[in-house]
Amino acid sequence: MINIEDFISSIVAGAAQELYGVSDNIQIQKTRKEFEGDYTVVVFPLLRASRKSPEATATELGEKIVASTPEIKSFNVIKGFLNLVVDPSFWAARFAEIVATENYGMAPASGRTIMIEYSSPNTNKPLHLGHIRNNLLGYSVATILKANGHNVIKVNLVNDRGIHICKSMLAWQLYGNGETPESSGMKGDHLVGKYYVEFDKHYKQQVKELVAGGISEEDAKRQAPIMLQAQDMLRKWEAKDEEVYALWERMNGWVYEGFDVTYKALGVDFDKVYYESQTYLLGKSLVEEGLNKGVFFRKEDNSVWIDLEADGLDQKLLLRGDGTSVYMTQDLGTALSRFEENKLDDMIYVVGNEQNYHFQVLKLVLKKLGYEWSDNIFHLSYGMVELPEGKMKSREGTVVDADDLIADMVGTAREMSDELGKLDGATEEEANAISTMVGLGALKYFILKVDPKKTMLFDPRESIDFNGNTGPFIQYTHARICSILRKANESGIEIKEYASATLLPEEVELIKSLADYPAAVRNAGQQFAPSVVAAYAYDLAKQFNGYYHDHSILKEECEAVRSLRLMLAKEVARVIRSAMALLGIDVPERM
């Protein structure tokens, strides 16, 4: 299928070469809405070669293009900008290509292999609102990269070891009385999270009592008996103590079962799951390599560091004095093993912006060790999700639980859909399916339409508005088109030959928007930005609704015009469905 912007660029470059002997520095952009035209040529870079004024150069170039290119109907010049008007027959041909292209918008295989890591939960608590943004962003970017023809490997690194895990284990041991997910009726991740909160409650009480006894708060935090017990449990875990290890495996098993339920509800998955307990020793050989190369240095306490002060950073610990690894050690080793095992071209980490410095250091250390592929590591940094009520704190039990939020979104979608009559005539089973689709669509779209780098305020009720820039608005547009096509079928109206129909300006604009879809998918892939696809889907849905408001489809008497409008509606629905799928969102056929 023709790439429209490449086609226009080649026409302009050919004309500039013939007139002025130059074909580089051609700048083309879409014509702004307030001016007549489809594409605008910036002629200022050509002035040295043309030796004429901007207006004269633009006029001469426009005349040359119109005379030699039947696809360009006319031109106009405004202050040295050449606006080209494309002939409607060109857009009619593009529409025929769109209709005939089975996987429209999807790129051919690129030969590149990209790994994307997202989710990365701790096994001491359930997933929360912050994890939802991470999962939705990672899954959508992976889907968009696949649409760009790349081989994509989706991975999850589960943080299943460390002092925070031992806190939940110890609290359950001390206060759990043998409680299990089965005996409590709680999801496993919720049960373990309950004891993480329980640990913090007892820890704070012990610190308070020690301070009251005359100890400084800093010393009290170190000496609190429950904290000392947790640290001892971690040492036993690292020594593979049978009892501690068995408890760790049991409680983590509860958490994984709970996570799987949440992932399924969110509609996200992974090709491979890594566990920190299996990767935390990776990287020690890289530390030795760095010492041998003189990239790292050892301090008197036997700890190993790298000095990055000359690079505008600071000194970074890579191995503790007792020989135990830190997160950076693990990430160095994991990155090396992933690139070597999978022959990766790129590695993307979806991690919150509080880790910006960590990934800056990771790339720099790998670069200094001589691994050139470090340039192909990308940290997809995202801002936190905030609520009107304020920030979340896991250890205090004030997080917005992912499962609760999903259930609330589906419930609110059911309530609002009922109020607006969207579920009239639906069976209970259909109503539940539509409510789930709308609730999750609202949640996903509201989060993904925002630039990942921005901190966002999530308002659940605002996200389920059936008007405005929301998932339900786009879903309803799709359902409306499906209803039109159903009614046409039920009335015996077929989509017959439509090529003879004259395109209205609004129909040309719709076709132009459809033609923009491959570029939107490409741009979203290059920027790792689902927000690009979200904006495209919303604009297309809004544009179709305006067109449908002004032009009858089923009641149109001219058969060719009616067929054209039905086919336009059908293709808009197909592209909306495709774009929303890139965001991980399903669209209903009835609503």
CATH code (residue 52): 3.30.1360.70
Is residue 80 located within the same domain as residue 206? no
Q: Are residues 415 and 516 in the same domain?
A: yes
Are residue 309 and residue 444 in the same domain, yes or no? no
Asked whether residue 233 falls in the same domain as residue 316, the answer is: no
Whether pLDDT at 496 is above 80: yes
Residue 366: the pLDDT is: 96
What's the rounded Cα separation, in Å, for the pair 146 and 108? 10
Crossing angle of helices 559-582 and 530-550, in 10° steps, is: 160
Total count of residues recorded for the chain? 591
**241 and 310 housed in the same domain:** no
More confident residue, 526 or 278: 526
CA distance 349 to 379: 5
3-class secondary structure per residue, 39-76:
EEEECHHHHHHHCCCHHHHHHHHHHHHHHHCCCEEEEE
Exposure string over 43-68, b if 16+ CB within 10 A, otherwise e: beebeebbeeebeebbbbbbebbbee
Q: Are 314 and 211 members of one domain?
A: no
Residues 433 and 548 in one domain: yes
Cβ–Cβ contacts within 10 Å for residue 249, how many? 11
pLDDT at 394: 40
Question: Both 179 and 288 in a single domain?
Answer: no
Rounded Cα distance between 473 and 231, Å, is 52
| Domain presence at residue 357 | no
Does some domain include residue 213? yes
Distance CA 417, CA 471 (A): 13
- The 3 state secondary structure assigned to 410-456 is HHHHHHHHHHCCCCCCCCHHHHHHHHHHHHHHHHHHHHHCCCCCCCE
Number of domains in the chain: 4
Average pLDDT in the chain: 93
* Global confidence as pTM: 0.92
Helix and strand numbers (H, E) in the chain are: 23, 14
How large a percentage of the chain has pLDDT more than 70?
98
* pLDDT score, position 325: 81
Q: Would you give the end-to-end CA distance of the chain in angstroms?
A: 34
The sign one gets for the Cα dihedral 427, 429, 432, 434 is negative
Residue 393 pLDDT:
44
The domain boundary, picked from 86, 102, 135, lies at 86
Which has the higher per-residue pLDDT, 386 or 464?
464
Instruction: Tell me: do 308 and 249 sit in the same domain.
Output: no
- Residue whose C-alpha is closest to residue 529's, from 137, 133, 116: 137
Gap between the Cα atoms of 461 and 537, Å rounded: 21
Q: What percent of the chain has pLDDT over 90?
A: 83
Higher pLDDT, 325 or 511: 511
Q: Which of 539, 550, 405, 521 is nearest to 473 (CA)?
A: 539
Q: How far apart are CA 291 and CA 296, in angstroms?
A: 5
Tell me what pLDDT residue 389 has: 63
pLDDT digits (tens, 9 = 90+) for 453-480: 898 888 887 888 888 999 999 999 999 9
pLDDT at residue 395 above 50? no
Mean pLDDT computed over 535-544: 98
pLDDT at 423: 86
- Predicted confidence band at 437 (pLDDT cuts at 50, 70, 90)? very high
Using one digit for the tens of pLDDT, what is the confidence trace for 9-33? 999 999 999 999 998 888 999 999 8
Q: Where are the beta strands (DSSP E) in 170-326?
A: 272-275, 297-298, 304-307, 315-319
**Residue 108 burial (C-beta neighbours within 10 Å; 0-12, 13-18, 19+):** exposed
For range 66-92, the mean pLDDT: 95
Residue 175 is predicted with a pLDDT of: 97
Contact present, 153 and 274 (Cβ < 8 Å): no
In terms of residue numbers, what domain contains 414?
A: 406-582
Distance, CA of 440 to CA of 266 (rounded, Å): 7
545 and 425 both lie in a single domain:
yes
3-state secondary structure of 294: coil
Residue 346: helix, strand or coil by DSSP? strand
